[in-house]
Amino acid sequence: MTLTPETLLPRHAAALARRRPWEGVWQDCYDHVLSGTPGAGGAQLYDATAPDAAEQLAASLLAELTPPWSRWFGLAPSRALAESAQGPAAAAALEAAAETLQGHLDRSNFAVEMHQAFLDLVVAGSGVLLVEEAPPGGLSALRFTAVPLREAVLEEGESGRLDTVYRAAALDAATLRRRYPDAVLPPGIEGTEESPGKHRVVEAVWPERTGCGYLAVLDWEGRAVPLAAGRFNDSPFIAFRWMKAPGEVYGRGPVMKALPDIRTANKVTFYVVCAQSDPSVLRDG
């Protein structure tokens, strides 16, 4: 599969339509676990058991899988190389590379963003982490972003992996010029100083025979304006799932499974709180 500016927006729209049946369930999960999100609305929480449990599980995943206080990965030569005369030198070089990589992870925002991605995994069953090169001169060469599931649209490839990722975002003209310095933007995109306006941008990364393709377009008055294109040796998006049912693309997380119990606990607590001021609530409810 190769995407072009003309095919990216229709492909994204089709993938978004396939994702839409999941969105109501995800919203229910977030409403009952992270309902304090500004502007999110949703259910009024009276019981904090589920929010506490979700946060603790996300923290436990971080501590067990990618602990910030220790090195959770290693680099080693292949068996053939290790058994050759160059084996000791290769092992030493890879160990030095692992130490360097660990230093960059320690100085980056990896722990914070990984925890947020794990929280999405626990609540909605899927998480997405973006790995980018940090600007020159920073403390670390790496920069991480936990991509909110509402911005990411995923497709499963023949290998069974989530190897095609679309990301939609609303950016103003200044951000567009900063992020895509070589793009030719359409006239009139600046807006006004009082109301600069934001514009829909869709990025996509998909697998190719060697490496991954990348394309970003601006959705301008129904027309796809190319912003950037290129290739990666490996996808900068890391998408993962808690578990999945056969034939499904998106994962199912523990909050989704426990949602009926969370609703029941919240309702019981509501009646208990109300009964403290008006005992007739228990009789009438």
Give per-residue pLDDT as tens, 146-202.
Answer: 999 989 999 998 888 999 999 999 998 889 999 999 999 888 787 655 556 889 999
- Residue 274 clears pLDDT 80, i.e. is over it: no
In the chain, where do the E strands start and end?
126-133, 142-146, 152-155, 164-171, 199-207, 212-220, 223-232, 237-241
- Name 18's Cβ contacts closer than 8 Å, sequence gap at least 6: 249
Dig out the tokens for 80 from the structure.
């053939």
In this prediction, residue 135 carries a pLDDT of 87
In this prediction, residue 270 carries a pLDDT of 67
The pLDDT of 271-282, averaged and rounded, is 59
Give per-residue pLDDT as tens, 50-106.
Answer: 999 999 999 999 999 999 999 999 999 999 999 999 999 999 999 999 999 999 999
Residue 96's nearest CA partner among 124, 126, 76, 123 is: 76
In this prediction, residue 159 carries a pLDDT of 84
Give per-residue pLDDT as tens, 195-217.
Answer: 568 899 999 999 998 899 999 99
Position with higher pLDDT, 264 vs 113: 113
**Alpha-carbon dihedral of residues 112, 115, 117, 118, nearest 10 degrees?**
170
Domain count, the chain: 1
Rounded to 5, what percent of the chain is helix, strand, coil? 45, 20, 35
In this prediction, residue 48 carries a pLDDT of 86
pLDDT above 70 coverage of the chain, percent: 89
pTM attached to this predicted model: 0.87
In 90-185, where do the E strands start and end?
126-133, 142-146, 152-155, 164-171
- Domain containing 270 equals 5-284
In this prediction, residue 162 carries a pLDDT of 93
Residue for token pair 């599931």? 149
d(CA 160, CA 241): 12
> Which neighbouring-strand residues pair with 205?
165, 214
- Residue 144 clears pLDDT 90, i.e. is over it: yes
Give per-residue pLDDT as tens, 3-39.
Answer: 899 999 999 999 999 999 999 999 999 998 986 654 4
- Residue 283 pLDDT level (bands cut at 50, 70, 90): low
Position with higher pLDDT, 35 vs 250: 250
